[in-house]
A and B are shown apart, each in its own frame.
Chain A
Amino acid sequence: MTMRSDDPDTLWTRLVRRAYRTALVQRWWAGRFRAVPGGDIPWTPLAKPLERCRVALLTTGGVHRRDDTPFDRSDPLGDPSYRAVPAESASADLTITHDHYDHRDADRDVNVVLPIDALRALLAAGRVGGLAPRHYSLMGHLEGPHLATLRERTAPALAQRLRADGTDVVVLAPA
């Protein structure tokens, strides 16, 4: 996949994107990473066999449907909103908006960050009971005030939607 011609690309975003392809920048970013401190580790035991669970996927890889609003790349602190990805989406329906990781492989095959086809294969094999109606995506690399927005608004809203979707299990994939 290449950049669309109407893409709001600037020299700066091109530089950032290029920089995140280098091992040095990736190491710097990983070493600088600090999670927002939480309380106890949350724990929900599996309530029924996996073969009867409805599964959703959630990635921070900036995935969204091509016809959906892209994540905002103009804010250097990131975009704390989320996108829903209908479970029946074909991988060709999806694209990635994210300047802070190397997603050239995921651009070619979205299953690298959001394994929708792999999950469908596990469903066909009977390993999981069903697909939740929607998967979800965030754009990682949030800083400053967006961290509070993620914690206080986006994450609770996502949890509520996952519950409303009847989702039993969510697989989180960082990217």
Chain B
Amino acid sequence: MTEQVRVPRAYFLRYPFGHPFGEPFAPAQQRQILADALGLLESVRVPGTIVDSPYRWRRHTFA
């Protein structure tokens, strides 16, 4: 779906739909995902780049 939409930069999480920033009441997780997404503004050079997140749903410990 993200490929079809063709946004300039995308951060892809293999999370359940309806959870683009992760789990509820998980501020460290939400903040990390938002920071990662914003970081693409600095790192991505090619339009349409989709970066896969390393996080697994409910399996990753966020500092």
Query: Which residues on A are within 8 Å of B, measured CB to CB?
Result: 26, 30, 33-35, 38, 40-44, 46, 50, 53, 55, 59, 61, 101-103, 105-106, 108-109, 111-113, 115, 117-119, 121-122, 127-128, 169, 171-175
Most chain B beta-carbon neighbours within 10 Å: one of A42, A101, A115, A122: A115
- Please report the C-alpha to C-alpha distance between residue A44 and residue B34 in the assembled complex, in whole angstroms: 19
How many residue pairs bridge A and B at CB < 8 Å?
Answer: 101
- What distance in Å separates the Cβ of B17 from its nearest Cβ neighbour in chain A? 6
B35 touches A106 (CB 8 A): no
Give which listed residue, B1, B19, B38, contacts A112 with CB less than 8 A.
B19
Residues in B1-40 with C-beta less than 8 Å from chain A: 1, 4-8, 16-25, 27, 30-31, 33-35, 37-39
Interface of B is mostly: loop
CB within 8 Å of A: which B35-50 residues = 35, 37-39, 41-42, 47-48
Give the complex CA separation of A100 and B33 in angstroms.
24
Q: Given the interface contacts A33-B4, A55-B38, does A113 sit within 8 Å of B17 by beta carbon? A: no
B42 & A50 in contact (Cβ 8 Å cutoff):
yes
On chain B, which size bracket covers the interface?
A: 20 to 34
Most buried by B among A34, A35, A59: A35
Contact A101 B17 (CB under 8 A): yes
Residue contact A111 to B18, C-beta cutoff 8 Å: no
B-side interface residues toward A, CB under 8 Å? 1, 4-8, 16-25, 27, 30-31, 33-35, 37-39, 41-42, 47-48
A106 and chain B: residue at smallest CB distance: B18
The reply to whether A43 and B8 form a contact with Cβ atoms under 8 Å apart is yes
Q: Contact: A169 with B38, CB < 8 Å?
A: yes
Looking at B19, B23, B47, the one whose CB has the most chain A CB atoms below 10 A away is B19
Are the CB atoms of B48 and A112 closer together than 8 Å?
A: no
Question: Nearest Cβ in chain A — how far from B8, in angstroms?
Answer: 5
Q: Which residues of B contact A175 (CB under 8 A)?
A: 17-18, 20
CB pair A113–B4 under 8 Å, yes or no, is no
